[in-house]
Amino acid sequence: MRPPIDSGTVLITGASSGIGRELARQLARRARTLVLVARREERLEVLRDELLEHNPTLGVMVERCDLSHPDEVDSLLDSLHRHLVRVDVLVNSAGLGDYSLYEQESWARIHQMVQVNVTAPLLLTHRLLRRMVERKRGGILNISSGGARTFVPGLAVYAATKHFLDGFTESLRLELMGTGVVVTQVAPGPVDTEFSEVAGTQERVGKAPAWMRISAAQCAREALEGFDRAQPLVHPGMAYRWMMRLSALMPRGVLRAEGLPAARQLRYGTSLLEPAHPDTGQRVLLAGGPEGA
């Protein structure tokens, strides 16, 4: 069973940048209509012109929407209804992270991440899925993250939103078995997009090594290949795919231990701690940072 991309209507969130924009470019060769959603309308208009230049028979709708506001998501859905647009495939690509210790994070930013990464995909899926089930054809492509399967100090809220999307997508997929609706989760590792700039990871922890990074075009291509095969989970990029396969075999304790150096670095500025004191059980930093941490 394949998702109804060919000659269908595909709604893509996060189409103004990165993976969402590349998905739009690759889907434009196959779909009848694309609905491009993001806040930066001018970018969506530039993309629309580019797509129409290469695919003159394609229909493209540009929908400016701040997905962190559920009422704007409702307005987007009303607009589709008014224009008699029936969505065959929903691609939830919009998302953001923010690198910070949790207690230092502003509540506004936490709320924004939860709204965009969790509430918006839930709401869009809830509003669009019933018609897909009734028509016995449809597709949901959720872009989560490798962070959905590990623990990521400095990105606790982001990782939690992706853990949520992982559980939701896998469970929804089971619910939809035999209905004609294809559900696929894409969990990339580092992809060269604006994500790390927005999240502040580029500035604070630097870029991931080149062998691990892939381009947004490769990520989109492998995502769509997996979606076409109705794969439950896609890890784009050979190196990252193998890392995630190995990581899936690791006991939880090993995943915790893997995150420790980064957590210490973030809080104390050093990843090295002395062994626990035999009497007090306290550990102190080898260099710098507060004692008794």
Ligand X SMILES: NC(=O)c1ccc[n+]([C@@H]2O[C@H](COP(=O)([O-])OP(=O)(O)OC[C@H]3O[C@@H](n4cnc5c(N)ncnc54)[C@H](OP(=O)(O)O)[C@@H]3O)[C@@H](O)[C@H]2O)c1
Contact positions with ligand X (CB under 6 A) in 111-130: 116
Closest CA to 98 of 49, 160, 43, 50: 160
35 interacts with ligand X by CB under 6 A = no
| Binds ligand X by CB under 6 A, chosen from 9, 93, 100, 185 | 93
Q: Provide, rounded to whole angstroms, the least separation between the CB of residue 293 and ligand X.
A: 30
3-state SS of 149-179 is: HCCCCCCHHHHHHHHHHHHHHHHHHHHCCCC
* Interactions with ligand X, residue window 219-238 (CB under 6 A): none
Candidate list 3, 4, 8, 95; residue touching ligand X; CB under 6 A? 95
How buried is residue 228: exposed, middle or buried, by Cβ count under 10 Å (0-12/13-18/19+)? middle
Only one of the segments 129-137, 170-178, 183-191, 244-252 lies at the binding site for ligand X (rule: CB under 6 A); that segment is 183-191
What are the helix and strand counts (H, E) for the chain? 11, 9
Q: How many residues does the chain have?
A: 293
Counting contacts by CB under 6 A, is residue 66 touching ligand X? yes
Q: Is 68 in the site for ligand X (CB under 6 A)?
A: yes
In the 8-state DSSP scheme, what is residue 273?
A: B
Q: Is 268 a catalytic residue?
A: no
CA 113, CA 176: separation in Å to the nearest integer? 27
Q: Which is nearer to ligand X, 143 or 224 (CB)?
A: 143
| Chosen residue from 67, 80, 183, 224 binding ligand X by CB under 6 A | 67
Report if residue 142 touches ligand X, rule: CB under 6 A: no
CA–CA distances in Å: residue 142 to residues 95, 103, 139, 183: 11, 29, 10, 8
What is the C-alpha separation between 100 and 193, in angstroms, rounded? 20
Cβ neighbours of residue 177 closer than 8 Å, sequence gap 6 or more: none
Asked if 150 is part of the footprint of ligand X (rule: CB under 6 A), the reply reads: no
For residues 291 and 288, give the distance between their C-alpha atoms in angstroms, rounded to a whole number.
8
- Residue 38 binds to ligand X (criterion: CB under 6 A): yes
* Cβ neighbours for 77, distance < 8 A, ≥ 6 positions apart: 124, 127, 128
| Total residues binding ligand X (CB under 6 A) | 27
Residue 158 or 181 having the CB closest to ligand X: 158
Q: Which residue, 181 or 220, has its beta carbon nearer to ligand X? A: 220
Q: Does residue 62 bind ligand X (CB under 6 A)? A: no
Question: Which residue stretch of 168-176, 186-194, 220-228, 237-245 sits at the interface with ligand X (rule: CB under 6 A)?
Answer: 186-194
Catalytic-labelled residue, pool 99, 158, 240, 268 = 158
Q: Which of 75, 194, 202, 268 touches ligand X (CB under 6 A)?
A: 194
Contact set with ligand X (CB under 6 A): 14, 16-20, 38-40, 65-68, 93-96, 116, 143, 145, 188, 190-191, 193-195, 198
**Catalytic annotation, residues:** 158
